[in-house]
């Protein structure tokens, strides 16, 4: 099948139902169907929830679409048609965020967005969001789910990995309440900690940088290297800033001798890069987490 013959990827269009700040730097957007139901050419909650359930994963992400307001574009966006008459810099841009929770009874989904000031696109947008705002996105993607049969679990990352870690711990509490392990979560400070549901045998450790992220201030890779490593078959989930993830990957493979099949390891973002550059670099050596 040629690229032009591929069916368009499903695009979901929902509205903001609620905006909540669970912590100082976290904005939680609860999304639900539009009042009049799905728009023509777009999925509503039901279509998204069906794909989400089929993936059966706890790290599922969506690609939020942001269009230049002055262009007056109305979602869903026909990306192929827009490319024919818009300059590349005018196209809707994408930002990737993990789905924190899908509630099929309430017919809502939550997306947590880190907000550290006016820099960037998604953070300031989330901080200004109001009920009724329309949100369009592709997805979900992702594939990790903690193996309930593993002897132990190690989950680690910065706040960008917090939604997936939280969802994974909740899944373990339901599927494997006897699970053992540790979750290492780096945030700016104590004001960014959340109460998480986890099995009694999984220790949740909050690591405080003392401020905004910098490579020098990041603490979780060193904490990972200093762990009293669990016995038996370990299933690992390690995500966050790219260079820190590379440090962690080398430790897991070279020091701990972990099999690549027993870990989910990837970068969610890269320090000093906007997402477009970060995504483009995934196809280059600097963007590769594994060296083979």
Domain boundaries, the chain: 11-141, 152-287
pLDDT tens figures, 194-230: 999 999 999 999 999 999 999 999 999 999 999 999 9
- Would you call 28 helix, strand, or coil by DSSP? strand
Asked if 245 and 155 count as a contact pair (C-beta separation under 8 A), the reply is: no
pLDDT tens figures, 231-287: 999 999 999 999 999 999 999 999 999 999 999 999 999 998 888 888 887 888 887
pLDDT tens figures, 55-93: 999 999 999 999 999 999 999 999 999 999 999 999 999
pLDDT attached to residue 292: 61
The CATH class of the 152-287 domain is alpha beta
- For residues 221 and 289, give the distance between their C-alpha atoms in angstroms, rounded to a whole number: 14
Q: Give the mean model confidence (pLDDT) for residues 128-139.
A: 96
Q: Which residues of 111-131 are buried (b: 16+ CB within 10 A; e: fewer)?
A: bbbbbbeeeeebbbbbbebee
- For residues 249 and 291, give the distance between their C-alpha atoms in angstroms, rounded to a whole number: 10
pLDDT attached to residue 272: 87
Q: For the chain, what is the mean pLDDT?
A: 92
Nearest to 270 by CA among 222, 192, 218: 218
pLDDT of 2 > 60? The answer is no
Nearest to 94 by CA among 115, 71, 64, 69: 64
pLDDT of 4 > 90? The answer is no
- For residues 200 and 177, give the distance between their C-alpha atoms in angstroms, rounded to a whole number: 7
pLDDT attached to residue 119: 74
pLDDT tens figures, 103-114: 999 999 999 998
Q: Give the mean model confidence (pLDDT) for residues 49-59.
A: 96
Q: How confident is the model at residue 1 (pLDDT cuts 50, 70, 90)?
A: very low
Q: How confident is the model at residue 187 (pLDDT cuts 50, 70, 90)?
A: very high
Q: Max CA-CA distance within the chain?
A: 58
Q: How confident is the model at residue 6 (pLDDT cuts 50, 70, 90)?
A: low
Asked if 179 and 205 count as a contact pair (C-beta separation under 8 A), the reply is: no
Placement of tokens 């290297």 in the chain:
225
Q: Do domains 11-141 and 152-287 have the same CATH topology?
A: no
Q: Give the mean model confidence (pLDDT) for residues 112-122.
A: 82
pLDDT attached to residue 230: 93
pTM: 0.92
Q: Give the Å distances, CA to CA, from 61 to 98, 99, 112, 215.
A: 4, 5, 11, 25
Q: What is the CATH number of domain 11-141?
A: 2.40.30.10
Identify the burial level of 280 via C-beta atoms within 10 angstroms of its C-beta, where 0-12 means exposed, 13-18 middle and 19 or more buried.
Answer: exposed
pLDDT attached to residue 279: 81
pLDDT of 5 > 70? The answer is no
pLDDT attached to residue 282: 82
pLDDT of 39 > 80? The answer is yes
pLDDT of 3 > 50? The answer is no
């Amino acid at each position: 099948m040629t690229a032009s013959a591929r069916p368009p990827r499903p695009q979901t269009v929902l509205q903001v139902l609620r905006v909540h700040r669970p912590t100082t730097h976290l904005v939680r957007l609860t999304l639900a169907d539009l009042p009049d139901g799905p728009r023509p050419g777009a999925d509503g909650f039901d279509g998204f929830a069906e794909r989400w359930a089929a993936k059966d994963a706890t790290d599922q992400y969506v690609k939020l679409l942001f269009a230049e307001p002055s262009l007056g574009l109305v979602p869903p966006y026909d990306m192929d048609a827009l490319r024919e008459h818009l300059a590349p810099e005018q196209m809707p841009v994408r930002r990737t965020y993990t789905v924190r929770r899908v509630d099929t009874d309430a017919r809502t989904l939550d997306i947590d967005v880190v907000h550290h000031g006016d820099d960037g696109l998604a953070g300031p947008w989330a901080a200004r969001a109001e009920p009724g705002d329309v949100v369009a996105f592709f997805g979900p993607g992702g594939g990790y789910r903690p193996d309930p049969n593993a002897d132990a679990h190690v989950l680690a990352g910065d706040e960008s990995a917090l939604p997936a870690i939280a969802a994974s711990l909740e899944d373990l509490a339901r599927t494997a309440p006897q699970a053992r392990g540790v979750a290492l979560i780096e945030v700016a400070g104590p004001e960014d900690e959340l109460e998480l549901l986890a099995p009694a045998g999984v220790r949740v450790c909050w690591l405080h940088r003392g401020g905004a992220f910098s490579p020098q201030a990041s603490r979780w890779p060193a904490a990972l290297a200093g762990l009293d490593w669990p016995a038996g078959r370990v299933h690992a989930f390690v995500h966050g800033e790219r260079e820190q993830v590379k440090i962690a990957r080398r430790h897991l493979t070279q020091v701990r001798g972990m099999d690549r099949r027993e870990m989910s390891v990837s970068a969610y973002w890269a320090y000093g890069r906007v997402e477009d550059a970060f995504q483009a670099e995934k196809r280059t050596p600097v963007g590769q987490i594994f060296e083979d």
